[in-house]
């Protein structure tokens, strides 16, 4: 393994890229995936992957297209093996949690199988819980030779979560990870909601599809729509898939004006340092006065009848 100063890292996972930067190893990044876009400067790095999903698809079309690709036994992603080899990485970061979300080790088999010389270390992340995320931060730090930095970063992130205000009343929160078909957010997101003082509804170990009737029967007091990979504007354009559902208007969250659209591209769905910011966002949404329509940075907005009419 090269010393830290000369270490060469390729990250094929947005959350891993953010972990690397948070560990102070940004200068060691030499390549990224097409989805790694934060901090903004990483977009200048060589792009080692691409997606088979066409641009401009609706959430339903994306879901259909992904299932079609998977049924054919294919990957949703392609890896530029020649570019990857030319970057001479010492460490490649990827994930094995979700073949739909990002490049997996299977996608790298061809590139690694024909590697000349010493093959890079492949570190595959697969978090399901917040503890897993802390463990992944430690693993990336250790693989990069900065174990102490990893422990300190985790300590700081956990301290911020401990500072979240706790209320006496726990809002019943329905967290929607995909609009059409309807999917409820799982994994670490129910933990974030609980830490923020909410009670996650229909939460499972993993994100999962549900029937609308089952979701509506919960009559949530708060609904947070946070589609994976969607910015707020993209989610707003898809809200008609929810507002047209039977009984939508009669839900307590809708009647009380407590439906929120959150940025699912940069927050919630990236299991890295900014999960803490995601929990802080939930806290702000749960405590937001009725006249507050959005966060100062635009990372979430309150969904109003006006916005519904414009979708």
Q: Does domain 169-310 have CATH number 3.40.50.1980?
A: yes
Which of 161, 245, 235, 240 shows the shortest CA–CA distance to 210?
Answer: 245
pLDDT-above-70 percentage for the chain:
87
50: Cα within 13 Å, side-chain hemisphere: 7
Q: Is the pTM of this model over 0.95?
A: no
Residue-wise pLDDT for 124-172, tens only, equals: 898 999 999 999 999 999 999 999 999 999 999 999 999 998 766 789 9
Neighbours of 212 (CB within 10 A): 14
**Residue 78: its pLDDT value, please?**
83
Residue-wise pLDDT for 53-67, tens only, equals: 677 778 888 777 777
Distance of CA 53 to the CA centre of its chain: 18
> By 3-state DSSP, what share of the chain in percent is helix, strand and coil, each rounded to 5?
40, 15, 40
Distance of CA 61 to the CA centre of its chain: 20
Look at residue 118 and tell me whether its pLDDT is greater than 80: no
Domains 4-159 and 169-310 equal at CATH topology level: yes
Domain ranges of the chain: 4-159, 169-310
**Residue 100: its pLDDT value, please?**
52
Class for the domain spanning 4-159: alpha beta
Tell me the two tokens of residue 38: 């934060």
Kindly tell me the sign of the dihedral angle through the C-alpha atoms of 112, 113, 114, 117. positive
Look at residue 201 and tell me whether its pLDDT is greater than 90: yes
Residue-wise pLDDT for 274-302, tens only, equals: 999 999 999 999 999 999 999 999 999 99
Per DSSP, the three-state class of 12 is coil
**Residue 311: its pLDDT value, please?**
47
Q: Are 78 and 103 in contact (CB under 8 A)?
A: no
**Residue 309: its pLDDT value, please?**
46
pLDDT-above-90 percentage for the chain:
70
Look at residue 102 and tell me whether its pLDDT is greater than 60: no
Average pLDDT, the chain: 89
**Residue 1: its pLDDT value, please?**
54
* Rounded Cα–Cα distance for residues 91 and 77 (Å): 20
Q: Are 224 and 175 in contact (CB under 8 A)?
A: yes
The residue among 9 and 304 whose pLDDT is bigger is 9
Residue-wise pLDDT for 13-54, tens only, equals: 999 999 999 999 999 999 999 999 999 999 999 999 987 767
**Predicted confidence band of residue 305 (pLDDT cuts 50, 70, 90):** low
**Residue 12: its pLDDT value, please?**
92
Distances (CA, A) of 270 to 84, 85, 125, 175: 23, 26, 12, 15
Distance of CA 280 to the CA centre of its chain: 15
**Residue 95: its pLDDT value, please?**
79
Q: What mean pLDDT do residues 304-310 have? A: 57
């Amino acid at each position: 393994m090269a010393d830290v100063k000369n270490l060469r890292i390729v990250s094929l996972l947005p959350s891993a890229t953010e972990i690397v930067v948070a560990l102070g190893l940004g200068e060691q990044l030499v390549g990224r995936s097409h989805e790694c876009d934060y901090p903004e400067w990483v977009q200048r790095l060589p792009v080692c992957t691409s997606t088979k999903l066409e641009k401009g698809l609706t959430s339903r079309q994306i879901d259909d297209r992904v299932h079609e690709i998977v049924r054919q036994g294919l990957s949703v992603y392609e890896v530029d093996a020649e570019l990857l080899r030319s970057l001479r990485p010492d460490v490649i970061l990827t994930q094995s949690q979700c073949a739909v979300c990002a490049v997996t080790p299977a996608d790298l088999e061809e590139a690694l199988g024909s590697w000349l010389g010493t093959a890079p270390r492949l570190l595959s992340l697969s978090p399901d819980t917040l503890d897993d995320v802390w463990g992944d931060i430690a693993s990336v730090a250790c693989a990069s030779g900065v174990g102490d930095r990893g422990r300190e970063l985790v300590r700081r992130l956990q301290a911020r979560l401990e500072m979240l205000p706790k209320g006496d009343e726990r809002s019943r929160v329905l967290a929607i990870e995909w609009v059409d078909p309807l999917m409820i957010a799982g994994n670490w997101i129910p933990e974030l909601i609980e830490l923020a003082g909410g009670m996650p509804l229909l939460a499972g170990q993993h994100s999962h599809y549900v029937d609308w009737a089952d979701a509506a029967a919960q009559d949530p007091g708060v609904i947070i729509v946070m589609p994976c990979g969607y910015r707020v504007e993209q989610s707003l354009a898809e809200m008609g898939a929810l507002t047209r559902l039977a009984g939508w208007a009669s839900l307590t969250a809708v009647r009380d004006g407590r439906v929120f659209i959150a940025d699912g591209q940069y927050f919630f769905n990236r299991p890295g340092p900014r999960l803490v910011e995601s929990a802080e966002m939930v806290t702000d949404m749960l405590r937001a006065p009725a006249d507050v329509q959005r966060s100062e940075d635009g990372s979430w907005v309150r969904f109003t009848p006006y916005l519904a009419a414009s979708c």
